[in-house]
Amino acid sequence: MCGIIGYYGQHPASKILIDGLKRLEYRGYDSSGLCLVEDNKLVCYKQAGPVTYLEGAIAHQDLKGHIGIAHTRWATHGAPNEINAHPHFDCHHQIAIVHNGIIENYQALKQLLSSEGHVFTSETDSEVLAHLIEKFYTGSLEEAVIKALALIEGSYGLVALHVNENKLVAARRSSPLVIGIGQGETFIASDVPAILNHTKDVVYLEDGDLAIIDEGGYQIKNLAGEPLDRRVEEVKLNIDQIEKKGYKHFMLKEIFEQPQSLVNVLAGRITNNQIKLSLNWHREAIERIIIAACGTSWHSALIGKYLLEEIVGLPVEVDYASEFRYRHPLVNNHDLFIAISQSGETADTLAALREAKNHGAQSLGIVNVVGSTVAREVDSGIYLHAGPEIGVASTKAFTAQITALLLLAFYWRQEMGYKIDESILSELRHLPAVVEKTLKANGQVIELARRFMNFEHFLYLGRGLNFPVALEGALKLKEISYIHAEGYPAAEIKHGPIALIDDNMPVVVLATKNDLSDKILSNIQEIKARGGQVIAIVDQDYEVVKKLADYLISVPPVHVWFSPVINVIPLQLLAYYIADAKGLDVDKPRNLAKSVTVE
């Protein structure tokens, strides 16, 4: 979950490293640090807090080193402070490492190394790597890294340097690393945005890869030291896609990018009233669908369950990816396993995917990041092409995932020999325009955000396809506003939550027209009878709800299958404007990081 960047080239490394860390800060912002080779010694700076603190600490230093590594941290082992910040060092301050991942057996290794005289200075698991490399170092950093990693249990994206060797050595297991190829310079990073300002030619490392970066460029080997050939790819992102472009926060920018992100999802996939997907699957063999995901992606998976069961007619199970493999799932070759992940690097989702494949399931990925591990390991995939999502709280990826699931459901139905109604396909084509219209009505949300910003609890209710939207709305409020919020199926409030309702518990009800509208009306009446304040999301022509609710947010009417994409927009905006009104750092919510690459 941490951010890593390394540089070897002709230019002073410090500015390149700092700029790279700024573009990686969504991966962690508890602390940061960098290390350069300067005049035959290692020069290191660390700071607790955001990368700007580190930038300030080196602002007046004359740093000229052309080789360096840097790191921005999301704390797992040890408090977020300067001592625990990376890089970490060996006993003699000759070896420096930056690490993303978790060393599961670090306590046993630390005890062994301490018994051999190694002195540890931090609380982190990562420091074990520096001392292990020191233990095995006899003049070759490459060989020492290989021997050290042979003892490691867990995950790592690792970059190491030695003061006496003119190179960087990197290795990957279950934590992403990408090499950037420039003119007379080479980069290594945990994510493409860190290096996009310098090159678009990249090589994605795979699990078990070892990379050596030196004056000759780069080499990739396996952990037996044997050369490997990895394809050079051109990144399609542009630098302006990872800039705020006048918006106060990335999250707000990404909310307002959703019309374009949906255009990108749909592009080339509806032609002559036919859904076009390229899937490598044996459709006739599939008897059950299993979807696994985490966080916001899990909410889109729940929506996918409703869509696929209704449109395709097969049973669908949805699992938290973090729980899937631990319940010893009964999976076989008649199952299709769908992994949903914005980053394509979520550790739990990857582990669930591998578990399902080991049991013979066909696999399909719905991911945003091209070249990610999920994308490489599935049998088939649907790329979202939503563009980079920098804000920690996911927005445009969620609506893109729902749209991809709609495409999959319609395509599957079509492959079964049924024709998709032209009115449905027309509405799908126009979905980006409807999202655009929904966003233009954000003024009403801003007013409500000011009114409710100081409340401490919220309840979100929905039925059917919009129950997962209620979950997502509550999650967004929790993530960035630090307000306690819960999402529930509306009928379930009578089984406990109704006891909480009073005039201090605003209740957000997804009340757009559907087959369950009468039941939603009954739920609203139950809330009002107990003094609750109701904020209703309504279709513009839904007059009945308007007579009952205290506050209204109007959205354009759409077919129920498309309603989650539309109805979540005001919930995203409500969470954003409440957090902003409270003066919170929307893009860097406390304790969270964008890509959860550790278990």
Residue by residue, DSSP assigns 37-87 as: EETTEEEEEEEES-HHHHHHHHTT-----SEEEEEEE--SSS-SSTTTSSP
Tell me: do 233 and 254 sit in the same domain. no
Tell me: do 482 and 566 sit in the same domain. yes
Do 595 and 27 meet the contact criterion of CB atoms below 8 Å apart?
Answer: yes
Domain holding 106: CATH number?
Answer: 3.60.20.10
Q: Determine the structural domain holding residue 549 and report its residue range.
A: 441-599
Of 380, 414, 439, which one is at a domain's C-terminal end? 439
Active site residue 419: no
Tell me: do 75 and 88 sit in the same domain. yes
- pLDDT of 597 reads 52
Do 574 and 448 meet the contact criterion of CB atoms below 8 Å apart?
Answer: yes
Residue by residue, DSSP assigns 252-289 as: HHHHHTHHHHHHHHHTTSEETTEE-------GGG--EE
Give one word for 51, left, alpha or beta, with left for phi > 0 and alpha for psi -120 to 50.
alpha
- pLDDT of 593 reads 62
Q: Say which of 110, 478, 588, 594 is annotated catalytic.
A: 594
Strands annotated E in 418-505: 457-462, 484-489
Buried b (16+ CB within 10 A) or exposed e, 274-298: ebebebebeeeebebbbbbbbbbbb
Of 439, 466, 489, which one is at a domain's C-terminal end? 439
Tokens encoding 472: 């997502």
Tell me: do 188 and 62 sit in the same domain. yes
pLDDT tens by residue, 362-379: 999 999 988 888 998 999
Tell me: do 255 and 232 sit in the same domain. no
Tell me: do 446 and 432 sit in the same domain. no
- pLDDT of 496 reads 82
Do 398 and 300 meet the contact criterion of CB atoms below 8 Å apart?
Answer: yes
For strands 186-189 and 67-73, give the pairing: unpaired
- pLDDT of 526 reads 83
Tell me: do 142 and 285 sit in the same domain. no
Tell me how far apart the alpha carbons of residues 41 and 488 are, in angstroms, rounded to a whole number: 58
Tell me: do 271 and 215 sit in the same domain. no
Give one word for 434, left, alpha or beta, with left for phi > 0 and alpha for psi -120 to 50.
alpha
pLDDT by residue for the chain (599 residues), tens digit each? 688 999 999 999 999 999 999 888 777 778 999 999 998 899 999 999 889 999 999 998 989 999 999 999 877 777 888 999 999 999 999 999 999 988 999 999 999 999 999 999 999 999 999 999 999 999 999 999 999 999 999 889 999 999 999 999 999 998 889 999 999 999 999 988 899 889 999 999 999 999 999 999 999 999 999 999 999 998 887 766 777 788 899 999 999 999 999 999 999 999 888 999 999 999 999 999 999 999 999 999 999 999 999 999 999 999 999 999 888 889 999 999 999 999 898 889 999 999 999 999 999 999 998 888 899 899 999 999 998 888 889 999 999 999 999 999 999 999 999 999 999 999 999 999 999 999 987 888 999 999 999 999 999 999 999 999 999 999 999 999 999 999 999 888 878 877 788 888 899 999 998 777 777 888 888 888 787 889 999 987 777 888 888 999 999 999 999 999 999 999 999 999 999 999 998 988 887 765 565 55
Of 439, 464, 495, which one is at a domain's C-terminal end? 439
Tell me how far apart the alpha carbons of residues 594 and 33 are, in angstroms, rounded to a whole number: 19
Total tally of structural domains belonging to the chain: 3
Helix orientation angle between 563-581 and 431-439, rounded to the nearest 10 degrees? 30
- pLDDT of 441 reads 79
Tell me how far apart the alpha carbons of residues 511 and 68 are, in angstroms, rounded to a whole number: 55
Q: Which residues contact 585 (CB under 8 A, 6 or more apart)?
A: none
Do 122 and 83 meet the contact criterion of CB atoms below 8 Å apart?
Answer: yes
Active site residue 64: no
Tokens encoding 34: 């960098």
Tell me: do 230 and 270 sit in the same domain. no
- pLDDT of 520 reads 82
Q: Say which of 2, 35, 44, 294 is annotated catalytic.
A: 2
Tell me: do 338 and 487 sit in the same domain. no
Omega cis (within 30) before 87? yes
For strands 3-8 and 67-73, give the pairing: antiparallel
Tell me: do 445 and 577 sit in the same domain. yes
Tell me: do 235 and 252 sit in the same domain. no
Domain holding 322: CATH number?
Answer: 3.40.50.10490
Residue by residue, DSSP assigns 451-469 as: HHTT-SEEEEEE-GGGHHH
